[in-house]
Amino acid sequence: MTDFIGLPKAEVHIHIEGCFEADDVIANCEAAGIPLRAPRDRLFEAHDLKGFLEMLDWLCGTFRTREQLATTAYKFAQRMGRSGVRYADVIVNPTHWPHWHKDIAGMIDAFDAGFAAAEQDGHPPVGLCVSLLRTQSAAEAIELVELLGDIRHRRVVALSVDGNEAAAGRTGPRFAEAFRRAGAAGLRRTVHAGESSGPEGVRDAIDLLGADRIDHGVRAIEDPELVDLLARKQIALGICPVSNLALGVYRSLADHPIDALRKAGVPVSINTDDPSLLDTTLEASYAACAEAFAWDDETIRQLAATSVQASYADPALKARILTDLADWRS
C-alpha cells in the first residue's frame, strides 16, 4: 500500500478558515456567549458555495482573541505534519473575520506567533497568502495591498483572491491594479479561478492579475488554447479534487480533468482546500486520485514535486524536500 503520508510534499491550496476543529469553535462560542449555528455534528454543514461562504463568516466570527488565532495557526501546522506535508502556503481572507477587520496587522501577527511556535516544535513551516474577496472594491483591494506593503511581514508571501466567481461576475479588471502593486512590492500572486467560472476566469488571472499560480483552474480544460498556454508558461494549478466533487464542480473523479491537464503538460498539484469542512486529508486525496487514474510511483512523485516547486517556500527548503522526494519509495 502506497505511503502517501511519508511522501515528501507541499500543500499550496488550503484555507485556514477550512481547518477549524469543532471543539475549538464550540469553546469560542461558550467563551463569548454565541449560540451555535447547528448541532455539533452539523456545525460544518453547507450545501452549496454560497452557504459554504456564509458558514465561513460565522465560524471566523467566533475567533475574538489573539490566543485563539495563535492556537488555530499552531494546530494548522500540526495538521500539515500529520499528513506528511513539509511546507504549506495557507490562505487567510480577512473579510471572513469580523473582529479583525480593523486590525489585519494584529491578525497576521497572531497567526505568525502560532506558526512560529509550531515550527520551533518541529512542525512544518507555513507561508501566509492574504486574500481579497471577489465582492470587494478596487479601492479596498488597493488598501489591503498598501497595508501589506507597509508592514512587510515576513510571514506574508502572497496576495490572493477567492470567493464565488459565478456570483461576483468578472472581477479581473477590478483587481488588476492591486495585483500589479502586489507584484511591485515583491509579493507572489495566486488567484482562485476556473472553479465556479469557466476558463475565462483562468485567462483573466493570467492576463490581468499576473498570477504565478492558480487555485483550482480545472475548467481551463474547456479551452484547449488555454491549456496550451498554461503548459507553455508552466503556470501551476493548485487543484482540490475532493472539494470539486463536494461542491458539485464535477460528479466523480472519473469526470475530473486533473489527469488530462497533467498529461497535457500543465503543472498540477493535489490539495485539500478546506479539509475540516470537507472531512478529508491530503493523503486521502492522493490515494483517491491514484486509484481513480491508476497512477504509478513516478507519476505520484512528479505530482509531489510540482507541489514543492509551485510553493512559495524558500529555495533552500525546496531543494531539501526535493532531495528527500527523490529517495521516496512507496
Known catalytic membership, residue 195: yes
| Contact in structure between 131 and 91 (CB atoms under 8 Å) | yes
139: Cα separation from own chain's centroid: 24
| DSSP code for 34 | P
Cα 165 to Cα 153, 188, 305: the distances in Å are 29, 21, 29
* Catalytic annotation, pick one of 11, 17, 165, 195: 195
Stretch (H or E) spanning 68: helix 66-82
Closest to 310 (Cα-Cα) out of 231, 235, 242, 257: 235
Q: Which three cell numbers stand for residue 16?
A: 485556514
Residue 98: burial class (beta carbons within 10 Å; 0-12, 13-18, 19+): middle
Rounded CA-CA distance 200/166 in Å is: 12
Rounded CA-CA distance 159/187 in Å is: 6
Q: Which three cell numbers stand for residue 66?
A: 489573539
Q: What is the set of active-site residues? A: 195
